[in-house]
Amino acid sequence: MEIRKTTNSSPPSQAMEFLEAKEIQVGIAVAIVAVVATAAYLYTSKKSKGSIDPENFKEFKLVKRTQLSHNVAKFRFELPTPTSVLGLPIGQHISCRGKDSQGEEVIKPYTPTTLDTDVGYFELVIKMYPLGRMSHYFRELREGDYMSVRGPKGRFKYQPGEVRAFGMLAGGSGITPMFQVARAILENPKDNTQVHLIYANVTYDDILLKEELEGLEAKYPGRFQVYYVLNQPPEEWTGGVGFVSKEMIQAHCPAPAPDIKILRCGPPPMNKAMAAHLDALGYSAEMQFQF
């Protein structure tokens, strides 16, 4: 009886072709992954680099000026490309260079109200004082003009979730770093930090970013609260009156604890008074930071 062997093997030529095809497919897949990874690295590297230099001033074009009141305006500056970011860490600031009414150079720090999630531009909200040297420069600045900027600058470094809650004591234009930090916290879906802000001004018209602050309150109820204090309030005012007191801090800021921090930024007399209040209420030096 004849016994025959059977096999399911493909002919050698077909097997080789199959293996070569698989090798080509694997090679293409590896190449695609490499290209994607390289592109992602270049994109993130470019993005993280930012558009400013901590040592040298760079020029940025003013593309839009919006007058918010008789002495407050919002200035939008163009970044190098539509996808560029400023590259400013949360809570830090930039140095702006201009000339005063006598033509002398002035350099002053400012905190943008935008974040690196705002690509292609950055914005400054500036209150222009009658005798301010840099205020003169901003009053004269027109769309199409360029401003010299250097940065980032500042000691404040924030990591999401590093504290349970922030208390913020702001006066006048000292609201800008507070707004930047609050917005970064609230817009980060992985950050559950609570923010309690006391914002002091002389009159109702002096309140900066009021619409934006109210927008954050409405969008993040329970996580962001603002208590306004006016030295010269209008009639039927329901907020605080006078200067920020220890009682206001107790009522509207988180109590002293290892997992909270109180930030303050305002005119020197206010900063000094707030430091004394916080010390008296039992907030340690580690719980306080002054911009």
Q: Give just the sign of the alpha carbon dihedral 272, 277, 282, 286.
A: negative
- Which listed residue (110, 158, 228, 283) is catalytic? 110
Dump strand ranges (E) for 34-92.
58-67, 72-78
- 84 has binding-site annotation: no
Question: Are the C-beta atoms of 244 and 200 separated by less than 8 Å?
Answer: yes
Does 134 appear as a known binding residue?
A: yes
Active site annotation includes 70: no
81 is in an annotated binding site: no
State the catalytic residue, choosing from 96, 111, 137, 158: 111
Torsion angle in degrees (nearest 10) through CA of 247, 251, 257, 260: -110
Q: Which of 199, 228, 252, 265 is catalytic?
A: 265
Cis peptide before 152 (omega within 30 of 0): yes
Side chain identity at 173, as an amino acid letter? S
Active-site residue, 111 included: yes
Residue 215 parent element (H or E) = helix 210-219
To the question of whether residue 110 is assigned a binding role by annotation, the answer is yes
Task: Give whole-number Cα distances, 201 to 140, 174, 175, 223, 261, in Å.
Answer: 25, 10, 10, 23, 22
CA torsion sign for 55, 149, 49, 164 is positive
- Is 125 assigned to a binding site? yes
Q: Which residues are annotated as a binding site for FAD?
A: 109-110, 125, 127, 134-135, 176
Would you list which residues are annotated within the binding site?
109-110, 125, 127, 134-135, 176
Catalytic residue numbers?
A: 93, 110-111, 265
